[in-house]
Structure 1
Amino acid sequence: MNEADDAILEYFQELETDTGHRIALPPTALWYNLVEELGVLDRSQNTISRRMNVLSDAGLLEKTDEKRGYYRVTDRGIAYLEGELEASDLDQVD
């Protein structure tokens, strides 16, 4: 896990609605918001996309639309953010 991974997961968590609906976004939209709008990361679009694939492989994000590449945070991703899972509990997230 790295700074980009945490920022990605935290942003998705913030997008959860009051009714518990989790918003799905493609890597480009996520990159635009984290880098261009909020300035919380200084990473390329390719890096964000690659990290989202890694987080998906670890079960922290789920791909909701294979064709268009939309992702959203999973219960496991929320558990990690809330301290219920340690990075060492995760499969290789490199």
Structure 2
Amino acid sequence: MTRADDAILEFLQNEGNEPLNATPAVIQANISYQISHVRSRLRKLDKAGLVEYYNEDRGIYQISENGKKYLHGTIDSEELEIEDSS
């Protein structure tokens, strides 16, 4: 897991409010990473089951139940199969 992964998941979780559904561009506009890196990390997070498509045709992602568990510490990053490099 990378800092970008955590930033993406935390943005989508929207702690204290309803979780967000967002495109890579919306996520990028709200965190400090370039769009190409956000897209790359979203693909890896999707493969690891931490995010999922809310609407695949429109490229809108949402945090998955496993993504929520990861942020709450009930899933350890070492249990996940995710690459650190983009």
Q: Which protein has the larger Cα radius of gyration, Structure 1 or Structure 2? A: 1
| RMSD of equivalent CA atoms | 1.3
- Give yes or no for contact 1:55–1:93 (8 Å, CA) kept in 2: no
CA distance in structure 2 between the partners assigned to 1:92 and 1:25 by the alignment: 21
- Which residue of structure 1 aligns with residue 52 of structure 2? 62
- Tell me the TM-score normalized by structure 1: 0.81
Answering whether residue 21 of structure 2 is matched by residue 31 of structure 1, we say no
SS, match of residue 59 in structure 1: coil
Q: Percent same amino acid among aligned pairs?
A: 33
The secondary structure found in structure 1 opposite 2:22 is coil
Q: CA deviation at 1:23?
A: 2.3
Q: How many residues align?
A: 83
Runs of 4+ in 1 over 4 A off after TM superposition: none
1:51: Cα distance to partner?
Answer: 0.5
